[in-house]
Structure 1
Amino acid sequence: MTRRILVVTHEGRPEAVQAADRVTAALREQGIEVVRDGTAEGCELIIVLGGDGTILRAAEDAREHDLPLLGVNLGRVGFLAEAESEALPDVVTRVVARDYTVEERMTLDVVVTAPDGTEQHGWAVNEAALEKGERARMVETTIGVDGRGLSSFGCDAIVLATATGSTAYAFSGGGPIVWPDVEALLLVPIAAHALFARPMVVGPHSALEVEVLPHGDIDAVLFCDGRRRIDVPPGSRITVRRGSHAVRLARLAEVPFSGRLVAKFDLPVQGWRGRPA
């Protein structure tokens, strides 16, 4: 049976298109059928050439078809990527040999219930971010866990994230970094006007809830991974639970997450165990 691989790239970046051309040619030389930015049906793997945004786009196909994806970073940080652009020849060699492992990452299932009881559904790898619909006003919210209210406040946004997303929007908002093998849900208020509006981490069997207070007159909007939008009118309730479908990431090396943090954020580690400054 002919092997088939989907190659996804950022078409707006010439270097990404050129990299995709090289990967495509190398795989075809090995007798592997390559699909470029098409359907993932019938494929064994998705190779993504770009930044985290491109990887999150490809994650939609990966989740739908239960396929692993392998990211090659051509962006800035590329936290979800497994390799940098200079490693492309090795990436091709390892893919041809099927020399990689697969790691599952927890996702979020999102339900937005409107005041009339209608529901909209979404999902996310990194986060579901509730944001105010009007720049000059705060969105008035109340938050809860497992059906119990915790606090009410106005804010610019609330980020509901996975451990994977803890290094993305939630991190920028002052949330904690959570190791990706920790199955947890994070809630991180952004610019909240309240005494108690600290980031929270709860277990994978809990449900995070955010209600947009009905006495407010500002619509809010919920963005899942910055890609999928759900409008949230006043009086709506957002419920976030552990996702029913994981996203699978192909890994080429067993690098500790601490090493990835140091490399991606260029963290100073001088002095660690006698390392010279």
Structure 2
Amino acid sequence: MSRRILVIAHTGRSAAMAAAQEVCTQLHAAGLVPVMRRKDLEDIQAEYGQLTAPTEILDEDVQLTEVDLGMVLGGDGTILRAAELVRDTEVPLLGVNLGHVGFLAESEREDLDKTVGWVVDRDYTVEERLTIDVKVWLDSTLLAHTWALNEAAVEKADRQRMLEVVMEVDARPISSFGCDGVVMATPTGSTAYAFSAGGPVVWPGVEALLITPISAHAVFSRPLVVAPDSILAVEILSRNAANGILWCDGHRSIDLPPGSRVEVTRSNVPVRLARTHDTPFSERLVNKFQLPTQGWRGPANQPPEQAANGGILP
């Protein structure tokens, strides 16, 4: 049976739709079966006409459990939405960055042909990324239950007033303060919203949870890195009647009335990401943020060809 590859594109970008056409054509030529969601396919057909390769429709011609891998064409936001689609399956995602930083993506647009070749040859490994389970309570009532790959961000709903919160770790209060919000993140999310809020960069292989206040009016408002089995919580205090809002991975939101409580724990359902080469995370960090490394000499036993290239192998 031919392998089926799900192609997910950000159809709001013409570059992503053009890339999707290329990928489907190359997969079909290599004997694989491209699969798309009906809406994505219809958006591309409305822009470009009929696809050049026959394409199966997800949930009509084929089920997600029959898919071998998902290729995601877009930025990190597209990959996060794709993760929501495949989370309850064992389908790994391989991202091709068509956005800006693209930390979750494995390759760039200029490497599209090579990436398709890696998929055809199964020249990739799969790693599991820690996710978080998120619950919203009001007194003893469970208002919502969701999850996140990057972060659960509690934010103020009204621009005019601060959010009054209490941060908690393992059923013990840490500090209360007024703020713009609090980010509870995974190591994967440490380079996303938590990074913008001043949190630390945590290597993806580290098992931990992060909690980072946003613009806190407090003497102690440092980001915290805690054990992966810890229970994080943020309570919305009622003293100024301010409402909050919870954003999970930037695209799922839940209203937080005063007195509500957001609890975050490690989920037992990971997200699987496909990797095509063993690039160290430190190198990815340098490349994505274009960090200066001039003057680095490297370890004493470093191969001469690597030292001559500034320490980075081609």
Deviations 1:43-93 (A, max 9, x none): 110000010011111011221222100000011100000001111111111
Quote the residue 2:215 is aligned against: 191
Quote the residue 2:130 is aligned against: 106
C-alpha separation in 2, matches of 1:228 and 1:197: 26
Q: 2:182 aligns with which of 150, 153, 158?
A: 158
2:142 is aligned with 1:96:
no
AA partner of residue 261 (structure 1):
L
Instruction: With the length of structure 2 as denominator, give the TM-score of the two structures.
Output: 0.85
Quote the residue 1:70 is aligned against: 94
1 or 2 for the larger relative contact order (CA 8 Å, sep ≥6)?
1
Quote the residue 1:121 is aligned against: 145
AA partner of residue 120 (structure 1):
A
Quote the residue 2:19 is aligned against: 19
Q: Check the 8 A contact 1:9/1:37 in 2, yes or no.
A: no
Deviations 1:221-254 (A, max 9, x none): 1000001111111111111011121000000000
2:277 is aligned with 1:253:
yes
SS of match in other structure, 1:273: coil
Instruction: With the length of structure 1 as denominator, give the TM-score of the two structures.
Output: 0.97
Give structure 1 stretches of 5+ with no counterpart: none
Deviations 1:80-139 (A, max 9, x none): 000011111111111111111001100010011013523311110100000101011111
Deviations 1:155-186 (A, max 9, x none): 00100000000000000111000000001100
Quote the residue 1:263 is aligned against: 287
Quote the residue 1:144 is aligned against: 168
Q: RMSD across aligned C-alpha pairs, in angstroms?
A: 1.4
Quote the residue 1:48 is aligned against: 72
Greater C-alpha radius of gyration: 2
Percent of residue pairs bearing the same amino acid type? 57
Q: Check the 8 A contact 2:65/2:91 in 1, yes or no.
A: no
AA partner of residue 90 (structure 1):
K
C-alpha separation in 2, matches of 1:142 and 1:25: 53
Quote the residue 1:87 is aligned against: 111
C-alpha separation in 2, matches of 1:27 and 1:182: 35
AA partner of residue 3 (structure 1):
R
**Structure 1 consecutive aligned stretches of length 4 or more whose deviation exceeds 2 Å:** 37-41, 274-277
